[in-house]
A and B are shown apart, each in its own frame.
Chain A
Amino acid sequence: MISFLLRRILSSIPVALSVIAICFLLVRLAPGSPFSSERALDPATQSILETKYGLSGSLPNQLFHYASNLLHGDLGDSLKFRGRSVNEIIGQSLPRSLLLGSIAFTLALAFGIPLGAWSAARQGKPSGTLLNGLALLTLSIPTFILAPVTVLLFSFYIHLCPPAGWGSPSQLVLPALCLSLPFVGVCARLTRSGLLEVLGADFIRTARAKGVTEPNLVFLHALRPAILPLVAYAGPLAASILTGSLLIEETFAIPGIGQFFVSGVINRDVFLVSGVVLVYCLLLLFFNLVADWLTALLDPRISLSS
């Protein structure tokens, strides 16, 4: 277990470093300077600013400077939001995105797994087809459609929830729902296909022959091996819920990490973009690690050491 963890963490380091390096270089290579927004700066000011932020000299030099700061835990200063460090911005905005993301993730699993199980249990009957169609429908409606439509419906026509903002629990309802709904469909379909495969297995036939009732069969016997594909997918899923929140944050005016990311990309705010990408990358690696560990926990045949 510990050696598995150590090995995984060690092998993640080069991935994270390459991601950061590629990201830094890409943003630096993109035309347009972070310092010239409306009017061009005179070359002297430009070079003073570049020296100040460690962006002068050749690209490899800049990258080296950034990487050595990074190893000291310093993500640099934002070039657009002057006077704020990237550490500070991420420290403030990440918890909000994480809260929203974890609510949406819980909702996606809480609705998706039962929906998938139910539609698998009703396989071949009209109700099963209907439930499967419902899952397909939720997965086909992207968040950027859901967001304006739900605001129109539930904030402006029926005054149920506030349309935007951050702070009170009622302001969380719409964004969390919009963020989770497409993933409800994804979870439901993964659960369904996993279950259908397991329900054809021998041990299920034996259990059925022993007289286990159909709901017990699905929820007690079949579900555990059947959600393995879902668990494997949940790592990238958690990461994509967090990146998916980018648009939700934009529409619902939530000061989360996604908003800073978009503005950073547009303004070539290289330290901000690299910092956020590093956070996303670490989250992805972390969730993948947890997913692998959970898979081994659920399926004793899988060993972590191989």
Chain B
Amino acid sequence: MKPRALHLCLAALAFLTLAAIFGPYFSPYSVDQISQTRLASPDATHWLGTDLHGRDLLTRLLFGARISLLVGLVGATISLFVGVTYGLISGYLGGRIDNAMMRFVDILYALPRIVLVIVLISLFDLKLKHLLDGTFLAPLASHARLLLLFVGLGLVEWLTLARIVRAQVLSIKERAFVLSARLIGQNTPTILFRQILPQVIPIVLTYLTLALPAVILEESFLSFLGLGVQAPLASWGTLLADGAALLNPIRTPWWLIVFPSLLLAFTLLLLNFLGDQLRKLQK
């Protein structure tokens, strides 16, 4: 594959991100502005049509992109931190601790993720709200649920990474430089984070491109089921769910299904392709 394809892919992702950040400012409509033109098909005034309440679909999609992309980024980053730390410790300590830590991962693997995320969200929703209310973060309090969704998705997505990092550490810790580090008297945290961590970073970064689409997908999945992002906020998942809810044999507003689908599938394709190319470069 030529690097041109990779550049095109990166450019498209950059364009999407910029559109998500700045796009809503250029739109003549606001995200939750209700109008009389309900379910209008795409035309010159509403490029991608309007939904059941007369809201402009393009504006809502751009707005939804903020949440969907942000969820992906935050979730993937959290999974990165948890997974890398867990894998490093488990692999380096070895023995009985390693065994116990990996069994725990096995058990979490066998639990359906949606249960974990839902329980996490409903358990801590109110607590976090109270916690935030008193501090300078008070404006965030109304979004406590969303914050927990970010964290929750990150916390269920780290399992694979922990396994990958652990497998790497198992071989790296046998190398001479680790032994030398131990001989000059470096303590375990220093060896872990200063000596071994830099060695696993390339693999971790390519994994990030795998985790990003996975988290975005999971968020859309939960939102599609009505368990993730809540109205009046919108993500691609909720927009798609809104469209799918209007599915009927007589007159379906096709634009409400087709455009969110295209955008989500296109983004996932780009991210998967990017991960593919990065892994190829590594070999």
User: Measuring CB to CB, which residues of chain A are less than 8 angstroms from any residue of chain B?
Assistant: 15-16, 18-19, 22-23, 26-27, 29-32, 129, 136-137, 139-142, 144-145, 147-149, 151-152, 155-156, 163, 243, 246-247, 250-251, 261-262, 265-266, 273, 277, 280-281, 284-285
Contacts and interface: CB of A to CB of B under 8 A. Distances in A.
B123 A152 contact: no
A281 B111 CA distance: 7
B115 A277 contact: yes
B112 A277 contact: yes
A15 B110 contact: yes
B123 A151 contact: no
Contact of B220 (A129, A144, A266): A144
Contacts of B205: none
Contacts of A246: 114
A155 B248 CA distance: 10
30 contacts: A18-B107, A19-B107, A22-B107, A23-B115, A27-B115, A27-B119, A29-B119, A30-B118, A30-B122, A136-B272, A139-B272, A142-B264, A142-B265, A142-B268, A144-B221, A144-B224, A148-B240, A149-B257, A151-B247, A152-B254, A163-B247, A243-B112, A247-B221, A250-B225, A262-B225, A265-B114, A266-B227, A277-B112, A280-B110, A285-B110
Contacts of B257: 148-149, 152
B111 A19 contact: yes
Given A140-B272, A141-B265, A142-B217, A148 B244 contact: yes
A125 to B, nearest CB: 13
B276 A136 contact: yes
Nearest to A280: B112
Contacts of A266: 227
Contacts of A280: 110, 112
B213 interface: yes
A33 B156 CA distance: 25
Q: From DSSP, what is the main secondary structure of chain A's interface residues?
A: helix
A137 B262 CA distance: 12
B261 interface: yes
A156 B268 contact: no
B115 A273 contact: yes
Nearest to B262: A145
B252 to A, nearest CB: 6
Given A148-B261, A149-B258, 5 more contacts: A22-B111, A23-B115, A136-B276, A148-B240, A265-B114
A156 B249 contact: yes
A15 B111 CA distance: 10
B133 interface: no
Q: How large is the interface on B (under 10, 10 to 19, 20 to 34, 35 or more residues)?
A: 35 or more
Interface string B182-213: 00000000000000000000000000000001
Contact of B118 (A149, A163, A265): A265
A140 B273 CA distance: 9
Q: Is the interface of B mostly helix, strand, loop or mixed?
A: helix
Nearest to A22: B111
Given A152-B252, A163-B249, A19 B110 contact: yes
Contacts of B122: 30-32
Nearest to B223: A144
Interface string B1-31: 1000000000000000000000000000000
A285 B111 CA distance: 12
A137 B269 contact: yes
Contacts of B221: 142, 144, 247
Contacts of B237: 144
A141 B270 CA distance: 12
Interface string B115-153: 110110011011000000000000000000000000000
B106 A15 contact: yes
Contacts of B72: none
A140 B265 contact: yes
B264 A145 contact: yes
Contacts of B49: none
Contacts of A261: 112
B243 interface: yes
Contacts of B115: 23, 26-27, 265, 273, 277
A26 B107 contact: no
A207 to B, nearest CB: 25
Nearest to B114: A265
A269 to B, nearest CB: 12
A139 B271 CA distance: 12
A164 B257 CA distance: 17
A107 to B, nearest CB: 20
A144 B240 contact: yes
A281 B110 contact: yes
